[in-house]
Amino acid sequence: MGSQANIGGAASAPVVAGFFNKFLAPVGVLLAVLGYAVGTYGAYISGLLMQAVFHFLR
Q: pLDDT digits over 1-58, tens only?
A: 555 555 666 777 777 778 888 888 888 788 888 888 888 899 999 999 999 999 999 8
What's the Cα-to-Cα distance from 31 to each of 28, 44, 50, 56, rounded to whole Å?
Answer: 5, 20, 27, 36
Annotate 24-44 with b (16+ C-beta within 10 A) or e (fewer). bbeebeebbeeeeeeeeeeee
Query: Which residues have a Cβ under 8 Å from the Cβ of 11 and sit 6 or more positions away?
Result: 32
